[in-house]
Each structure stands twice: as C-alpha cells, then as structure tokens.
Amino acid sequence: MPEVLRAPLVVEFPFTRSLGPVQSAFLTGLRERVVLGVRTGDGRTLVPPVEYDPVTAEEIRDLVEVAPTGTVTTWAWNHEPRRGQPLDTPFAWALVRLDGADTALLHALDAPGPAAVRTGMRVRIRWAAERTGAITDIACFEPYEGGAGQPTGHTGAFDEPLSGIVAPARLDYTYSPGRAQSAYIHALSEQRTVGERCPSCRKVYVPPRGACPTCGVATAEQVEVGPRGTVTTFCIVNIKAKNLDIEVPYVYAHIALDGADLALHARIGGVPYDQVRMGLRVEPVWTEGARYPDHYRPAGEPDADYDTYKELL
Amino acid sequence: MNREIAVVAFAQTDHRRSTEESSEVEMVMPVLHEVLAQTGLRAADIGFTCSGSSDYLAGRAFSFTLALDGVGAWPPISESHVEMDGAWALYEAWTKLLTGDADTALVYSYGKCSPGSVRDVLTRQLDPYYVAPLWPDSIALAALQAQALIDAGHTDEPALAAVGARSRADAEANPHAQVKGGSIPQGDYVVRPLRTGDCPPVGDGAAAVILAAGERARELCERPAWIRGIDHRIEAHGLGVRDLTDSPSARLAADKAGAFERPVDTAELHAPFTAQEVILRRALGLGDDVRVNPSGGALAANPVMAAGLIRIGEAAARIHRGASDRALAHATSGPCLQQNLVAVLEGDPR
C-alpha cells in the first residue's frame, strides 16, 4: 500500500446576503445600540426578529424595541473557544430572553466560570466597540444585577439602513484522494501516466477514480498509457484567468492518450493557437521538478484518423 | 395507488475514525455490491436510485456525482440525490415506488467526517444572519439543549451517562460500530454539561438499503420489513423560538406514520447526543418495554448523512431476522432535533 497522500484544502467564501425589512431594522439597530423585536399576530414579541411568523407564516412587520437586559433560559459552558466564536477566553453559550421579548437570542456570556452561570440569571448586552450592523455588534452578554433596562423608545426607522451583510465563512479540510487517484499521482511524479482497467468492460480510465462509472465495479489493474496522445476536441481560451500566468489566447484540449479509453484535458503549447486541430498528435512537456506535465505539444506525427478516436469524443 | 413497500436488504461499512486511504466511491462501492448481493439484483435491475450526502463534509462541490460511479449509471438510470441524511433519500424513493414508476429502489448515503472538522462544518447549516456568524458548533448547541432538559427536571448527568454506557455496551454486538464497550469512561466535559461519552464519535461510513414493492419484496426477501408509515416534520429554525426539551416534530411525524396505533417492540432512534434520546423517548412515548437502539445507535457510530438511514436499516434488519415484529425507526437533521423523520416497519405474522 503506497503512502496516503494528503493536502490542505481551504474553502473560503464571503457570502453576500441581502436583508428583508425586519432583518435590516434589527441589524441596523444593533449598529445603533438598539435592540428591536417583531410582534406577531397573536401579540408575542420575537427577538431576534424574523420576516414571517414561525407558526402562521404570516408576514410580520410590527417592530418593537426591547431592553438590552434579559434572563438566561439555558446555557452551556465552553471551556475551549473555537475559531470565529465571540470570545477567545472560556465563556458560556446562552439563550437569553431579553426584557420585553417572548423568545430567546443565542450569544456568548462572559463569566468567570461555570459556577457563576445558572439558568434564570440576569444579564445585559456588552456592545462591541466597533459596530457595522451584524449579530457580532453584540460583543457578548455579561452578568448584571438589576431590573429591566429601559428601551430608548426607538421607532425602528433609521438613517442609512443596511440592505445586506457580508458573512465570511472558512472551513479547513485535509484532502486525501483515495487509493486509485493516489497511485495515479505517485506515478505522475515519476513522469508516467498510469490508468486502471475495468475488469468487466475492459476500458482503461485515466485518471482512474477507483470505479468504472459504466459497470459500477472496482478498477484495479494498472495500465501505463501514453505518453503520446491525440487531440479529440479543443477550445480556444480568450479570457485570462485570475492568478494564472498564461498568455491568451491559448488552447485547452481533450487528449486521448494512447491506450486510454477516456480523454483527459490539458493545455496545448508549442504551436500557434489557430493551428490546433482535432486529430493532432501530441506529447507531454515536463518541467524540472514538476509532479505533472506542464502542457502538451505537437509530437511531429501525421494526424490521427477520425475513426481512431471518434469513440472518445 | 396504494402499494405495500418494504425494506428488503441493508448493508453498511465498518465505521471508522478515518478512511483516508479510500475516496468516497471506494468507500461506498463495497456497500452497494453487498446490498445488491443480498437480493441477487444487479444495478441494471434497480428501478430508481436515490442517495444522500453533503458536499460540506467533503469540502467539494458535487462530490456525490463521483460516488455515483460506484452504482454503474450506464445506460442512464433514474436517479436522484438529496443533500440530506439518507433517511430522506429513502423517503423520496418510497414516494417514487408509491407512484408505481418503479418496483425496486436502491438508497444509499455516506459521510466522511475525517477530512474536516464536523463540529464547525455543521455551523454552516444555521441561520446565516443571526447565528452562523457566531460559529456555535454542534456540540455547543446540543449542550444548550441538554442543560434545558436538566433544568426542566427530565434528566441529570448520571442518567445521561447511563444512556451513553448502555449504547456502547449494546454496540459490543454490532460488528460495524466505531465505539463499543460499556466500561468506557464518560470522559471530561466537551461543552458542559455534555461529556465525551454524551457525544457521538466522529467517523466515516456508508450505508445502503433496497426497497421493493408488493410481491417483488416477497421474492427478494424472506421476511420483508414493510413500511407501514413514514413521515417527516420540521420545526422553526430559531433555537430561541423552540421548546428544546420537547420534540413536537418527532411526535407529529410518528403520529402521521401510525406509530401510536399499536405498540412497537423496537425503536432505532437517531440521537447523536445522550440528552436527545431522553427527549425522543418522552416525545414518542416509548416505555421501558421497548428495546431502544440495540445497535448502539449514533452514540456508537455516527457517519453524518448516513446515521439516520442506518437507523432504518438496523430496524429493518431486526425484522428480517425475526428479532422484531414492529419497529420504529427515526432520523434527525438540523440542530437540536430540528427536523425528524419516523418510519414504522413491520414483518409478516409468524
């Protein structure tokens, strides 16, 4: 069994989300240190507020300000904060029902330890120093001895209300390609292209993924293919990709390596873009120390007959 | 069209902390071959194929399309995928068979939790405006629910530990379980009040079942596990809107599935956290005479996206081998039991 290959894989997106009128008022309010709820048809006040009644699905728009103080309805002590969480020192997660609200808001509660936290304890909002109109404008809750704080009497109408938020998200993975693809990558690093043959239909897949997609059985028999192959079809790329140091126009092609029953794709170089054609015979170009071919170039052979590759289009 | 539909075969992998030596299709394919072999069917004989998985576990878009290579989808097959636990793929297949468009269905699902951090991955299913930016991980949310249950007087930490110990003791008899042994220490707090033993193991795995309608089911299986009813219900996404100590959606799904018409002898509950078993037992009215999670449940193996389908498969397998006559199978999705599916399975009288 060859060594298992691993590579870091980071998936990171800045999700841009538009806001409905209730969400906009709530998040804009946080920016202004005002907490708004929304009243349902049966007179309950939801904080955080939503656009539609979770019970009746009725559209709800009746904004009502609640206090920045409240009561813990449940909690959980988090002794090892994780990336992105509101505090980087141990804290309690808490659902807090703000004074004037009928539902609870999830956030962090800054407390010295679990012995200082209990359901029913009184807390108040600690505002973030810099606020942009996001749930993180509430830095956290903190213990508070006292009665209900006073709402400011806000109507819910703001100058410059938010219309959207940008929520960054990042997840870190360690990618492993599995048995068949690992074997393929190991062989490529020795400048050999090795596919796998289906025991049932006898097709050779390059790159192999461990299964014949036609027969649904495992491929195992390794077959070295190429190095030369035939262009089966191609396109001309006219738009430069970000972070890619290749001059346009260039040709990207499907190439059926000799002995393979599936075309792989690669860039064609060493020939003007407008002279690439179906049937062109090509060979890989390796650069020093590379683990895969940089591109393919004309092999200097006569073109292949259409009949020899038409099944691979 | 009123057709009887049954689970006629079930297979699963040995669930492990990591399957990094295998790609997804390499992990799934042996299970597909095994479940087909149980019935003697070939992939080409299957009328409908439906799978469940999540790209967020793999960290790659359309990862399920590569897993489909393990089915053998040529000539083109009738196929669908849900970005959910495989229990919901089974629900879709069940409806497809009800229409009469197909007589047999292959349902499979898989999850590789090992490439990423599943606690963090699952935060991405939360409300993206008010909750996800705080990155509350799956154990933190389950801990809030557990504390609410303790505050309500429905359980305490020793009772939760007993649920974990019983599950892992039962898993001794399950060759596929990842964590087994009743004497494993309960461990330290992960997020208080939940300790290591209150939480599911993180692992990779896959499962598959075959459904068949009417006489076809009897041809393929000596004692089919007939789906007498199946239903799924969801609650509001706002955690602070819900009563976290109860599961009205599980109860309603069970009611619609006919679970309360007659007692069940077995229940396979998809409760990844100990406190969730306590909630589900109360919500579903399961007494001490019902055998709960003889497989060890999700506390013994929790390949995310497959663990719910495995509950249906385990319940069906007990009916197949005559260890149960009427079983309830449950699957959950979302934070704190937000969405719940219940199926009622029965064997023919003996």
Contact A183, A209 (CB under 8 A): no
Q: Residue ranges of the domains in chain B? A: 5-116+202-220, 118-199+226-346
- B47 pLDDT band, cuts 50/70/90, is very high
CA distances from B170 to B176, B291, B309 (A): 12, 11, 19
A139 and B CB contact within 8 Å: no
Contact A50, A19 (CB under 8 A): no
Closest-CA distance of chain B to residue A31, Å: 14
| CATH number for region A13-170 | 2.40.50.840
Which of A5, A74, A166, A262 is the best residue to mutate to test the B interface, defined by the most B CB atoms within 10 Å of its own CB?
A74
- Judging contacts by C-beta atoms under 8 Å, the chain B residues touching residue A95 are 144, 239-240
Q: At what angle do helices B274-284 and B138-151 cross, to 10 degrees?
A: 50
Mean pLDDT of chain A: 95
Closest-CA distance of chain A to residue B340, Å: 17
pLDDT tens digits, one per residue of A223-265: 999 999 999 999 999 998 887 888 899 999 999 999 999 999 9
Cross-chain residue pair B144–A84, CB shorter than 8 Å: no
Q: How remote is the C-alpha of A218 from its chain's centroid?
A: 30
B61 has a pLDDT exceeding 90: no
Contact B85, B140 (CB under 8 A): no
The string of DSSP codes covering B240-271 is: GGS-TT--HHHHHHHHHTTTTSS--SEEE---
Q: What does the pLDDT read at residue B313?
A: 98
B305 has a pLDDT exceeding 80: yes
Beta carbons within 8 Å of B2's beta carbon, 6+ residues apart: none
Which of A24, A82, A109, A166 is the best residue to mutate to test the B interface, defined by the most B CB atoms within 10 Å of its own CB?
A82
Q: Which residue of B has its CA nearest to A1?
A: B21
Both tokens of residue B104? 């047999």
| Residue whose structure tokens are 């964590």 | B179
Mean pLDDT of chain B: 96
- Strand, helix or coil at A66? strand
A1 has a pLDDT exceeding 80: no
Q: What does the pLDDT read at residue A152?
A: 84
Q: What is the CB-side half-sphere exposure of residue B171 using CA atoms within 13 A?
A: 26
User: Average pLDDT, stretch A133-151?
Assistant: 93
Q: Quick one: what percent of chain B has pLDDT higher than 70?
A: 100
For chain B positions 179-198, those within 8 Å of chain A (CB to CB) are 189, 191-194
Apex B129 CA angle, B127 and B135, nearest 5: 65
- Prediction ipTM score: 0.95
A262 and B CB contact within 8 Å: no
pLDDT tens digits, one per residue of A172-189: 999 999 999 999 999 999
In chain A, which ranges are E strands?
Answer: 7-18, 35-39, 45-46, 62-66, 69-78, 91-98, 105-109, 122-127, 138-143, 164-175, 193-197, 204-205, 221-225, 229-237, 250-257, 264-268, 281-285, 295-298
| Residue whose structure tokens are 């970000």 | A242
Question: Which has the closest alpha carbon to B196: B155, B154, B156, B168?
Answer: B168
Q: What does the pLDDT read at residue B55?
A: 93
Cross-chain residue pair A74–B192, CB shorter than 8 Å: no
- Strand, helix or coil at A164? strand
Contact A13, A168 (CB under 8 A): yes
Interface A-B, measured as beta-carbon pairs within 8 A, has a size of 192
A2 has a pLDDT exceeding 70: no
Question: Which has the closest alpha carbon to B207: B316, B324, B294?
Answer: B316
Nearest to B135 among A85, A94, A212 (CB): A85
Q: Which residue of A has its CA nearest to B193?
A: A76
A108 and B CB contact within 8 Å: yes
Q: What does the pLDDT read at residue A200?
A: 94
Q: What does the pLDDT read at residue A251?
A: 97
The CATH number of domain B118-199+226-346 is 3.40.50.2000: no
Q: What does the pLDDT read at residue A289?
A: 86
Contact A252, A267 (CB under 8 A): yes
CATH topology of domain A226-313: OB fold (Dihydrolipoamide Acetyltransferase, E2P) (2.40.50)
User: Average pLDDT, stretch B44-59?
Assistant: 95
A139 has a pLDDT exceeding 70: yes
A215 and B CB contact within 8 Å: yes
pLDDT tens digits, one per residue of B216-250: 999 999 999 999 999 999 999 999 999 999 999 99
Q: What does the pLDDT read at residue A246?
A: 86
Q: Which residue of B has its CA nearest to A135?
A: B130
Closest-CA distance of chain B to residue A114, Å: 8
Cross-chain residue pair A108–B128, CB shorter than 8 Å: no
Centre a 10 Å sphere on the Cβ of residue A247 and count the other Cβ atoms it contains: 7
Closest-CA distance of chain B to residue A274, Å: 34
- B32 pLDDT band, cuts 50/70/90, is very high
- Judging contacts by C-beta atoms under 8 Å, the chain A residues touching residue B145 are 74
Q: What does the pLDDT read at residue B321?
A: 97
Select from 3.30.70.141, 3.30.450.20, 3.30.450.190, 3.40.47.10 the CATH code of B5-116+202-220.
Answer: 3.40.47.10
Domain(s) labelled CATH 2.40.50.840 in chain A stretch across 13-170
Contact B330, B342 (CB under 8 A): yes
What does the buried/exposed string (b/e) look like for B285-314 if buried means 16 or more CB atoms within 10 Å of the residue's CB?
Answer: ebeeebbbbbbbbbbbbbbbbbbbbbbbbb
Nearest to B22 among A50, A86, A179 (CB): A179
Tell me how far apart the alpha carbons of residues A181 and A183 are, in angstroms, rounded to a whole number: 5
A33 and B CB contact within 8 Å: no
Q: How remote is the C-alpha of B101 from its chain's centroid?
A: 26
Nearest to B240 among A4, A104, A177 (CB): A104
- B74 pLDDT band, cuts 50/70/90, is confident
Contact B309, B86 (CB under 8 A): yes
Q: What does the pLDDT read at residue A291?
A: 87
Q: What is the CB-side half-sphere exposure of residue A110 using CA atoms within 13 A?
A: 15
- Strand, helix or coil at A7? strand
Lowest average pLDDT, out of A286-300, B200-214, B250-264, goes to A286-300
Q: What does the pLDDT read at residue B1?
A: 54
